[in-house]
Amino acid sequence: MKERLCEHNVTLTDPDATAGMGTLEGYWTVPFDIVVVGVCVSPLEDDAGATLDVDDDGSNVISGIDASDANVPGTWSTPELGGTQTPVRIAANSKVSFDINNGAASNNFYISVWYLV
């Protein structure tokens, strides 16, 4: 079987003006085994200090992706996509969470995950 490169897009919206984004903000249950080879994130508005972590069943597998600049998306990528990171295998039926750290109140974050199937 040939591997296929796929993309999953997530938008984290925080309508609550009283508190910033935090951990365990968004979830995705993966229906089959995947290998993550790239992640890209940007906020709707600049958000100094904001970062993204990706967790697999509660364990951090990708951390500290810069999510602070709306005009310059933060990236995490493997050599297949021109980066230096090690691919991350996620098992079928895992619960993947997207955690925004130090996110401001009422901001949105746009996340793309590229993976091999």
Q: What are the structural domain ranges in the chain?
A: 5-116
pLDDT of 25 strictly over 90: no
| H or E, element range at 85 | none
CA 95 to centroid of chain Cα atoms: 13
Q: Determine the pLDDT at residue 104.
A: 79
Q: Percentage of residues in the chain with pLDDT exceeding 90? A: 71
| Strands, sheet with 26-29, edge to edge from the N-terminal-most edge strand | 26-29, 95-101, 51-56, 59-66
Model confidence pLDDT, tens digit, residues 53-103: 999 998 999 999 999 999 999 999 999 899 999 999 999 999 999 988 888
Burial of 89 (0-12, 13-18, 19+ CB in 10 A): middle
Average pLDDT, the chain: 89
The predicted model scores a pTM of: 0.89
81 φ/ψ angles, rounded to the nearest 5 degrees? -115, 15
CATH 3.90.226.10, applies to 5-116: no
